């Protein structure tokens, strides 16, 4: 497989450093992160040499399998309390399923707290909110407890469900995708929203769709 070597100064500025100062409307703590260690939801480190992924990997990473108007595949995953939760158990209710890169990273913390701060609006719309990442149940439990998250977090270790749903990655698949799905009470996807760099936009776009259902 061909490879491409890039010196560090070719990396975008936002990959080399970032700052995280995300206030919460409830004055709850948000993570403070040293520079060069995390980036918008990924525990990230870079090397002067970057390999170009194979074409088959790129196809898997870029093209989503779940789209608007489709019915996504069912899953059963463990929540933050170690209990099995299936997508099918929410049948008859609107469901918001959001995939995020990792617990305790700046963008993911900001996104989770934004869902938390708008949670009453989701309840009013009759919707269930479910967050999914590759972290284990104990990580989810600590994350939910620290930020007082009132919704379910599911552990997709090995990213099996992420792959089945075709959640696209960023930067040639090196950064796990941040994608939100709104599923109506009949199990049909009404929104697929992807925005890695503006985590709070997921909440705004999701509520717009829910209020129109």
Catalytic residues: 108
Pairing label, strands 128-133, 95-99: parallel
Q: Contact at 8 Å (CB) between 65 and 165? A: yes
Residues with Cβ within 8 Å of 44's Cβ and at least 6 positions away in sequence, in order, are 15, 37, 38, 175
Q: What is the DSSP letter of 175?
A: B
Tell me the C-alpha distance between 123 and 146, whole Å: 22
- What's the token pair of residue 127? 């919707």
Tell me the C-alpha distance between 105 and 56, whole Å: 29
How many other CB atoms are there within 10 angstroms of residue 67's CB atom?
A: 12
Dihedral, CA atoms, 171, 31, 125, 129, nearest 10 degrees? 60
- Half-sphere exposure (Cβ direction) of 40: Cα atoms closer than 13 Å: 18
Report CA 152 to chain centroid distance, whole Å: 13
């Amino acid at each position: 497989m061909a490879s491409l070597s890039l010196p560090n100064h070719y990396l975008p500025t936002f990959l080399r450093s970032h700052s995280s100062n995300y206030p919460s409307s409830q004055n709850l703590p948000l993570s403070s992160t040293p520079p060069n260690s995390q980036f918008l939801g990924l525990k990230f480190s870079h090397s002067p040499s970057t390999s170009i992924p194979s074409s088959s990997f790129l196809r898997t990473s870029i093209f989503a399998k779940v789209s608007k108007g489709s019915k996504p595949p069912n899953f059963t995953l463990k929540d933050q309390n170690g209990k099995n939760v299936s997508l099918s158990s929410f049948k008859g209710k609107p469901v918001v399923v959001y995939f995020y890169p990792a617990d305790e990273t700046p963008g993911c913390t900001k996104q989770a707290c934004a869902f938390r701060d708008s949670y009453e609006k989701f309840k009013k719309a009759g919707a269930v909110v479910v967050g999914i990442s590759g972290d284990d149940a104990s990580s989810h439990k600590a994350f939910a407890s620290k930020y007082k998250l009132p919704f379910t977090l599911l552990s997709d270790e090995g990213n099996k469900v992420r792959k089945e749903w075709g959640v696209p990655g960023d930067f040639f698949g090196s950064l796990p995708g941040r994608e939100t799905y709104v599923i109506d009470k009949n199990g049909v996807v009404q929104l697929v929203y992807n925005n890695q760099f503006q985590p709070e936009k997921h909440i705004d776009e999701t509520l717009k769709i829910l209020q129109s259902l």
